[in-house]
Structure 1
Amino acid sequence: MQKRTVKQASQLHSNAEKTRSHLAWNDFEVILAIATAGSLSGAARALRVSHATVFRRLGDIERRLGVILFERSRAGYRPTLAGEELADTARIMEEAALTAERKVAGRDLEPSGEIWVTTTDSLLMGLLAPMFTQFQLRYPGIILDVAVANQMLNLTRREADVAIRPSNHPPENLIGRRLTTIGQAVYGHRSLGLTPGLPIDILTSQPWIGAGPRLQDSVLDQWMGYNELKASSVYRVDTLVSILSTVRSGMGLAALPCYLADEDPDIIQLTDPIPELCYDLWLLVHPDLRGVVRIHALMDFLTEAIRGQEQRLAGRWLSQPNK
């Protein structure tokens, strides 16, 4: 029985040597997805296939190679030494493919094709939607594919081509343009009967709307904590558009971007723009895409359009109406 087992192992090793060089990119893709996610279900979501498909493909790869690539446990799938080596190779292959894709994308000569844009719901609603309409009229050959997300999509991995984001600390590996400063002030519904210009310490007696943790606005969270407003929070929500809707309902006060809240006639600005809550608006792109004609067209168009609304975006000062 032992001789048979040794013989089988020897044959398996021999077969592995014959097939080791025949791994395709989709095999490496499966290995990398499992190594990154640490589970078959996570890899399945990343690859957009079923759990059973990932299980079957991993088993097939291991049989062909004659090695175990992942240690199975209740905690998930942990790469063996062989699995980690192949996962590292897959990462190198993926980065090379993405680099080649970005460079090839830079060779177009006409402003046409698709641009993947990522921005926030509040910027799209309160600022960018009409600008995108005007851009499409000027460049009908360019299709904008807009992903609305409060988290920064990965431009290096081509999850998006262009990001329009509020940030005081944009990623250093990207190139971009600082477009303007966004001002924020405290707003409330007219029905509350509050007088504009009241100091923050007077407004603490009012109910407040806070930012949920998924909004990832640490500056706002710190400001509310410093002004002892967290104890007055009766509601938290994780998008600025949702906060605006809650203020519109009369539930409480909130700090909001002036460009977003000023458009609502039922909401009044109660304070001047708050210096601690001001942030920069950036137009970001991966360095490999800066020479792409369609990207350049969008960046130039938005730069001119957004900087043309600089005063509106900075917010109105109650103490200096003409500022």
Structure 2
Amino acid sequence: MDNGDGGHADWDDIKTFVAAAQTGSFGAAARRLRTTQPTVTRRIEDLELRLGGRLFDRGLRGVTLTRAGELVYDRALTMQRASLDIERLSLDNETPHEGEVTIAAPEGIGGYVIGPEVAEFVRENPGIRLGLDCGFYPENPVDAHVDLSVQLTDAGGAPELAATPLASLHYALFASKDYLQTYGAPTRIEAAVGHRFIYHSAQVAKRGQWGAKTSAFIELSAPSMIVNSSTLMLHAIQQGAGIGAIPTAIAPLAPDLVMLDIPPLATSTLWLCHHRDAVKAGRVAKVAEWLASIFDARERPWFRPEFIHPREFAGWSWPAATARA
């Protein structure tokens, strides 16, 4: 680690390296760290010089770890987690219900489920600064800078991570009334083939994880549109661009949509994941408790393990839906 002049790898360089490894680009790392891309590039180059080898392969689409970079990354993660543990312990001892808590969540969950609940939480907990990260983290979803992660996969058995089921999401086919009046409403999944379908890229990528019948249906029903934004997908369906599979939990927020008379294509479990020591901090435990209340299936039947048809949601609503009424 010595650079020849008595210097050693700087801790800020290590944090920059971890951010670049997790985001896959120096630009994305700069945005995460609230700095500039030239600063990230300089820090990475300084670290490579001090360690005496390349840590990243640079390409047009971003950066990937070299073999040496992978070895450094494993050790850097350990250092970063230890640093965060120290910071959490120090802050929690002094002000257990104050400080920053960062939540990572898929864009749709963040925007349509968590977002409408934020105002009440910050009013009741003025000392807690919430960060809501709705970026894309296909690997290592519980990053060191994230305290709590709401996600559609569990912690994968990693011993340092804890995963608690939050809710069940039932993915059913929805369309606008205009679309159904124009093109008809299929009542069997086999009859739906040939219609215009809108898919989220995650649904296409993970079609093999759904049931055999649903996976075969996705293979046969060529999409007219593939998006990587839940917001865009919902708006496209609402405007009559096609049929899409969305969680029935969204139905109270989009009463203009109609669920096709076809059973849900799939049911997925939504998990709350975190490093095991994270909830020892009072502020993180407070936010975790709040998140659990948002997905309380006793109050919101669309999150129950058993499928309940949206027509039975009468009398239940999201805060955002109530505000628009």
> 1:266 aligned to 233, 252, 256, which one?
256
Instruction: Return the alpha-carbon distance in structure 1 between the equivalents of residues 8 and 222 of structure 2.
Output: 60
> Is this contact kept in 2: 1:156–1:286, CA < 8 A?
yes
Residue 177 of structure 2 aligns with which residue?
190
Instruction: Return the alpha-carbon distance in structure 2 between the equivalents of residues 103 and 49 of structure 1.
Output: 30
> 1:316 aligned to 296, 308, 313, which one?
308
> Is this contact kept in 2: 1:136–1:142, CA < 8 A?
yes
SS at 2:108 equivalent: helix
More displaced 10-residue stretch of structure 1: 263-272 or 85-94: 85-94
Q: Deviations over 1:8-49 (max 9, x none)?
A: xxxxxxx976x34x3252586399579959xxx955764655
Instruction: Return the alpha-carbon distance in structure 2 between the equivalents of residues 141 and 230 of structure 1.
Output: 52
Residue 240 of structure 2 aligns with which residue?
250
Instruction: Return the alpha-carbon distance in structure 1 between the equivalents of residues 311 and 64 of structure 2.
Output: 61
CA separation of 1:223 and 1:140: change in aligned 2, threshold 3 A = farther
Counterpart amino acid of residue 268 in structure 1: V
> Is this contact kept in 1: 2:18–2:76, CA < 8 A?
no
* Structure 1 residue 247, shift from structure 2 partner: 0.9
> Is this contact kept in 2: 1:163–1:284, CA < 8 A?
yes
Counterpart amino acid of residue 175 in structure 1: A
State the 4+ residue runs in structure 1 displaced beyond 6 angstroms: 71-81, 83-89, 194-197, 318-322
> 1:107 aligned to 85, 93, 96, which one?
93
Identical-residue share of aligned pairs (%):
16
Residue 318 of structure 2 aligns with which residue?
none
More displaced 10-residue stretch of structure 1: 211-220 or 288-297: 211-220
* Structure 1 residue 201, shift from structure 2 partner: 1.2
> 1:29 aligned to 11, 14, 28, which one?
14
Residue 199 of structure 1 aligns with which residue?
188
More displaced 10-residue stretch of structure 1: 151-160 or 69-78: 69-78
Instruction: Return the alpha-carbon distance in structure 2 between the equivalents of residues 189 and 208 of structure 1.
Output: 12
> Is the aligned partner of 1:136 residue 2:128?
no
> Is this contact kept in 1: 2:114–2:294, CA < 8 A?
no
Q: What TM-score, normalized to structure 1?
A: 0.71
Residue 323 of structure 2 aligns with which residue?
none
Q: Deviations over 1:177-223 (max 9, x none)?
A: 21221112110110122777811112223211122259854446976
Alignment of 1:82-121 (within 5 A): 93-121=79-107
Residue 12 of structure 1 aligns with which residue?
none
* Structure 1 residue 268, shift from structure 2 partner: 0.4
Counterpart amino acid of residue 250 in structure 1: G
SS at 1:143 equivalent: strand
* Structure 1 residue 93, shift from structure 2 partner: 4.1
Which consecutive residues of structure 1, in runs of 5 or more, have no partner in the other structure? 1-14
> Is the aligned partner of 1:69 residue 2:53?
yes
Residue 3 of structure 1 aligns with which residue?
none
Question: In angstroms, what is the RMSD of aligned CA positions?
Answer: 4.4
Q: What TM-score, normalized to structure 2?
A: 0.71
Residue 134 of structure 2 aligns with which residue?
148
SS at 2:93 equivalent: coil
> Is this contact kept in 2: 1:44–1:54, CA < 8 A?
no
CA separation of 1:200 and 1:234: change in aligned 2, threshold 3 A = same
> Is the aligned partner of 1:277 residue 2:263?
no
SS at 2:302 equivalent: helix
* Structure 1 residue 139, shift from structure 2 partner: 1.3
* Structure 1 residue 127, shift from structure 2 partner: 1.8
Counterpart amino acid of residue 247 in structure 1: I
* Structure 1 residue 309, shift from structure 2 partner: 3.5
Instruction: Return the alpha-carbon distance in structure 2 between the equivalents of residues 95 and 241 of structure 1.
Output: 33
> Is the aligned partner of 1:159 residue 2:151?
no
CA separation of 1:203 and 1:295: change in aligned 2, threshold 3 A = same
> 1:171 aligned to 153, 156, 167, which one?
156
Residue 201 of structure 2 aligns with which residue?
212
Which consecutive residues of structure 2, in runs of 5 or more, have no partner in the other structure? 315-325
> Is the aligned partner of 1:291 residue 2:280?
yes
> Is this contact kept in 2: 1:200–1:227, CA < 8 A?
yes
